[in-house]
Amino acid sequence: MIVADRKPIEEIIAEIKEHEKILILGCNECVTVCEAGGKKEVGVLASALRMYFLNQGRDVKLDEITLERQCDHEYLEEIRDVIDQYDAVVSLACGVGVQFMAEKYHTMPVYPGVNTCFLGVTEKRGLWTERCQACGQCILARTGGICPVSRCAKRILNGPCGGSTQGSCEINKEISCAWQLIIDRLKALDRLDDYEQIDPIKDWSTDRAGGPRKVEREDVQQ
C-alpha cells in the first residue's frame, strides 16, 4: 500500500488559515490502513482545527467527509453536489488523491493533509516500512523476493557492498542489510546458485528517473 504520515498541524494551518469554509476529505484505502488519512484521522484533524479557529475567535465552517477512494473518478464525483459549499479542501489522501481531486475540481484550492512516504507494509501496528519503489521492471524473481532497489541503501543490484555487519546495513544499524536478507532467503530456497549470477545492468528508463510514466491497456479500455 501507499504509506503516508501525518503532516504537522502547524503546516496545515499555515496553508489554510485564510479560508472560511473548509472540507476535510479522507480516504478509506491505504491512508486508513496506515492511520494517517482515514475517517478517524479526518475527525482528529477537524477537531484540532476547530479548536484553533475558536481560539482565534473565528467562525469557520469545517466539514468532514471520507470517500472510498480519491484516485478514481467514480468516488470523487460523490462530492460534486456539495463542493460549492466550500472555499478549500484539505485532502488526507496520498499525493495521488490530492492531485486527482485538484484536477477534477479545477478552481477549488486543495491542500495536502499528509506526507506521502513510500510503498510499504505494516510490520506491526504503528510501524510501516518500505518495500517497493515502483521501478517498472520487477526483479524480485532473481532476488528471492526481496527488493534491493527499495531496501538496499545504495540500491546495488549485485550486493552486498561489503559494509554490512551482523546483518545490519552499514549506513544505519537499525535497518537490515537487504543483501543479507536476500542471501538468507536464497539459502532457505536452496537457490544460492542464483546469487552467483551477475545481475544485468538495470534499465532505469521505466523507473521514475525516466520521466513520468503511464500504463495503457487497450484490452481493458472501452
Partner 1 sequence: MNLKRKFDAGEFAVLAEMEPPKGVDVSTMLSNAMRVKGEVDAFVIPEMSNAVMRMSSLGGAMILQGKGMETVMQVNCRDRNRIALQADLLAANGCGITNVMAVAGEDPSFGDHYQARSVYDIDLLELLNAIRGLQDGKDMAGIELSGSPQFLVGSTVDAGAKGKSPELEIEEMTKKIEAGVQFFISPPLFDLSAIHPFMKRVDIQKTKIIPTVLLLKSLGMARYIMRNVDNVYITDSLIDRIQKSPDKVRECTQIASEMVTSLKKEGFSGVNLATLGWEHKLPEILERI
Q: By CB under 8 A, name the binding residues for partner 1.
A: 201-205, 207, 209-211
Buried b (16+ CB within 10 A) or exposed e, 14-44: eebeebeebbbbbbbbbbbebbbbbeebbee
Candidates 13-21, 91-99, 172-180, 186-194: pick the segment binding ligand SF4 (CB under 6 A).
172-180
List binders of ligand SF4 among 77-136 (CB under 6 A): 132-135
Q: How far is the CB of 185 from ligand SF4 (least distance, A)?
A: 14
Q: What count of residues does the chain have? A: 222
Binding mask 133-152 for ligand SF4 (x = CB under 6 A): xxx--xxx------x-xx-x
Q: Torsion-angle region of residue 155: left (phi > 0), alpha (psi -120 to 50) or beta?
A: left
Check residue 161 for interaction with ligand SF4 (CB under 6 A).
yes
Measured CA to CA, the distance from residue 157 to residue 175 in angstroms comes to: 18
- The 3-state DSSP class for residue 111 equals strand
| Partner whose binding site includes residue 8, from ligand SF4, partner 1, none (CB under 5 to 8 Å by kind) | none
- Positions touching ligand SF4 (CB under 6 A) are 132-135, 138-140, 147, 149-150, 152-154, 156, 159-161, 163-164, 169-171, 177-179
